[in-house]
Structure 1
Amino acid sequence: MLKGTKLYSIFTGTCPVCQNESMYTSSNMYNPKKTQEMHERCSHCNTKYKIEPSFFYGSMYVSYGVGIAIAMAIFVIAYFVLDMSRWNIFWFITLVSVVSLPVVIRISRNIWINIFMDYDKEKARKS
């Protein structure tokens, strides 16, 4: 349903151009050695993921926003829904932030590369 949109590529971690292959070498993002390990190129459409040296340093700015969004969502849920104390909210946000770090890293990289690349129907159809 969402295939062909940037959201599909962001949430699945697939090639932003053809969306036929994962950009990452490992599907387990909780393996610290493999969280950021990516293929150099898409085997389907030959798109080079690392456009220039240090390309993904820009994703650090995106990760800040994603992390703040998660922390704010946790705060709203903890304060208004769960009626937790401020001290418990602090520890809850800290715990969720640490546990979700690999997810934030990958989502941020996916958002960053999708800013610079667009879906191409022709390349997606190639076999």
Structure 2
Amino acid sequence: MKTLLKSIIGLAALAPVLLFSSCGDDNGGTKPVKPKAINITYKISTEIKDAKLESVIVSGANGRDSSISKDLKLPAEIKVRRATPPKNTEVTLKAKLDKPGKVNLEILVDNKSVKKESPTTKDAKDLATIVYKF
């Protein structure tokens, strides 16, 4: 009887220790990792005399295209900050000028040039476009 009583008291004393020791941090004490943010800069310029930038479409912070049409002047520079996109994600830069000709487009990631092209538009309705894939 004394042995049974000692066992019950021992289990009663041990139960809270076991309960609270199992309620620790589930991820081993490490903090969740936030995705690294990157800066994307889109640059547009041209050598076409008196050309005006009518519209710009860029991949925005949420990965969707954003159209910009206010206060556009050449040369133009648009900056966005976003989480590092997954591999094979594309970012785009599209520009429309009021005159056809050669348009210089560049995409920079964290101030490093990753894509630079100079497409030529044949009509003022055309968009000069470049795409960069991570």
Query: TM-score, normalized by length of structure 2?
Result: 0.27
Query: TM-score, normalized by length of structure 1?
Result: 0.28
**Higher-Rg member (1/2):** 2
Q: Which has the higher strand share?
A: 2
Higher RCO structure, 1 or 2 (CA under 8 Å, sep 6+) = 1
